[in-house]
Every structure is written in structure tokens, then in C-alpha cells.
């Protein structure tokens, strides 16, 4: 019994380390296929999991001089993907994962005040974004709660080149966010919210950012923010 408890406590510690969280997380990303945009959940480049449509709260599109608009009602939702025909220079989706609690029996999608044996609890928010690197809007924020914005001109960034990205939380530069590719942490944002990383993909790259902050509420101990930015690599 004592050994089992020690193993459980060790699991909790490892699960809450920033780099361990990245390795365990599910991806949430947008990509373009045949002129349409596809939203998926699971493992980018691997297994695609079921998409809970009720947790997709917004799908924001910006094109040309038009103001950003929520096009979610125009999207087609299937069990494992959401499809939107476009066009969009910038497109983002918000997945509200709700509250989660860690217990000796695993994770439950419930707030702490509804789970008597909760050890840790958090609120999960995920954002996915796609940018047209050739659009003058590519380097502009779209207004997501947690957002990756390219600082470098991605239309000129090729495989092996480095690019600078800025991470925003509620529209403000965020320091201490972790940027990763394929769940491999590559750096943390500085006091200007920026970090520079090497682009690795040959055709389409997806970078992700994550950040956890403590809160004091009956429902959760912390808030977990995750975002992805997908774009086509210059050739």
C-alpha cells in the first residue's frame, strides 16, 4: 500500500511538470486541405480522436478588410473533424475543455468541488490557429484568449530557418510560456512574449504554446492554456 501511494504521488509530481504536460497533451489544430479548413483533435501527424462539438465554442475567420467573424454556424461537424470552406487569411478555433480533477483513479472532467478525492484540479482552454503566410494580416493578432502570433515574415521562412513568435494572453505579451514542436519544448518566451525557434517541417509546420497559472477558486487550482499555430512552409 505504501509503495502504491508513493508511486501515485510521483505520478502527480511528474504530471505537473511543464515538460511532462507537453508530452501527455492532445493536439488541437487547424490545417488546409483542398481549399477547405479542417479542425482536428488528437495527435498531429498521427491518431485523430473524436471531436466533442459541444466544446468548440468559436471559429473565428478574418479575411481582407472584414472584421473577424464567428463562422461556427457555417461549419460542418463530423465525429472526428470540423470543416469550413473559407476563405480566411486567419482562422482560429476555441476548445473549452472545462474543469478537470486528478484523483487516485485517474482524471475526471469535473471541477474540484464535485470530486471529493481530487488531488489537483484545473481548467483547460485550447486554441487552434491557421495563418496564410502570404497575407498582410499574418502577423496581426486575431484576438484569441491565448494566441501565438508570428513576428517573422513566415512567407520567407524555409525548413531549417529560425522564426520568432510572440505569445499573447488576453492580448498582452506573456513571459514564461513554453513553445514546442511535436511536443518537444524548444524555449520559453521572454519579457516581450517572444521566442525564436527552428522550423522543422518541409511543407506544413505546427508550433504549440502552453502556460499554466495558479488560481484560487472552488473549482480549480490552476488554469491551463494551450495554443497551436499552423502554417505552410516557404519553398
For 80-128, write each residue's pLDDT tens digit: 999 999 999 999 999 999 999 999 999 999 999 999 999 999 999 999 9
Q: What is the pLDDT of residue 111?
A: 97
Q: Each residue of 147-192: pLDDT tens digit? A: 999 999 999 999 999 999 999 999 999 999 999 999 999 999 999 9
**How many domains would you assign to the chain?**
1
For 68, residues 6+ apart whose C-beta sits below 8 A from its C-beta are 60, 61, 62, 90, 142, 143
pTM over cut 0.85: yes
DSSP H helices, 70-168, are none
Cβ-contact 55, 96 below 8 angstroms: yes
Give the CA diameter of the chain: 64
**Is there a contact between 209 and 226 (Cβ–Cβ < 8 Å)?**
yes
Separation of CA 186 from chain center:
15
Question: Across all residues in the chain, what is the average pLDDT?
Answer: 90
Return the DSSP state at 89.
Answer: S
* β strands within the chain, DSSP E: 27-33, 36-42, 56-62, 69-70, 76-78, 81-84, 90-103, 106-108, 120-131, 146-150, 162-169, 172-173, 178-181, 184-188, 194-198, 204-214, 222-232
Using pLDDT thresholds of 50, 70 and 90, give the confidence band for residue 42. Answer: confident
Expressed as residue numbers, the domain containing 20 is 2-232
**β-strands 222-232, 120-131 pairing:** parallel
Amino acid at each position: 500500500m505504501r509503495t502504491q501511494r508513493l508511486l501515485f504521488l510521483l505520478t502527480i509530481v511528474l504530471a505537473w511538470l511543464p515538460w511532462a504536460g507537453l508530452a501527455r497533451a492532445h493536439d488541437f489544430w487547424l490545417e488546409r486541405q483542398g481549399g477547405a479548413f479542417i479542425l482536428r483533435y488528437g495527435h498531429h501527424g498521427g491518431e485523430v480522436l473524436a471531436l466533442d462539438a459541444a466544446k468548440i465554442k468559436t471559429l473565428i475567420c478574418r479575411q481582407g478588410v472584414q472584421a473577424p467573424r464567428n463562422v461556427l454556424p457555417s461549419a460542418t461537424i463530423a465525429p472526428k473533424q470540423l470543416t469550413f470552406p473559407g476563405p480566411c487569411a486567419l482562422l482560429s478555433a476555441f476548445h473549452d475543455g472545462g474543469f478537470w480533477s486528478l484523483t487516485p483513479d485517474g482524471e475526471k472532467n469535473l471541477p474540484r468541488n464535485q470530486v471529493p478525492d481530487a488531488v489537483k484540479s484545473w481548467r483547460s482552454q485550447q486554441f487552434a490557429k491557421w495563418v496564410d503566410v502570404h497575407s498582410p494580416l499574418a502577423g496581426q493578432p486575431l484576438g484569441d484568449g491565448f494566441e501565438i502570433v508570428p513576428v517573422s515574415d513566415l512567407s520567407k521562412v524555409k525548413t531549417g530557418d529560425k522564426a520568432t513568435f510572440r505569445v499573447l494572453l488576453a492580448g498582452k505579451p506573456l513571459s514564461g510560456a513554453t513553445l514546442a514542436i511535436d511536443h518537444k519544448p524548444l524555449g520559453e518566451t521572454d519579457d516581450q512574449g517572444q521566442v525564436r525557434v527552428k522550423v522543422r517541417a518541409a511543407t506544413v509546420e505546427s508550433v504549440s504554446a502552453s502556460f499554466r497559472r495558479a488560481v484560487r477558486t472552488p473549482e480549480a487550482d490552476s488554469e491551463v492554456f494551450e495554443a497551436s499555430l499552423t502554417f505552410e512552409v516557404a519553398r
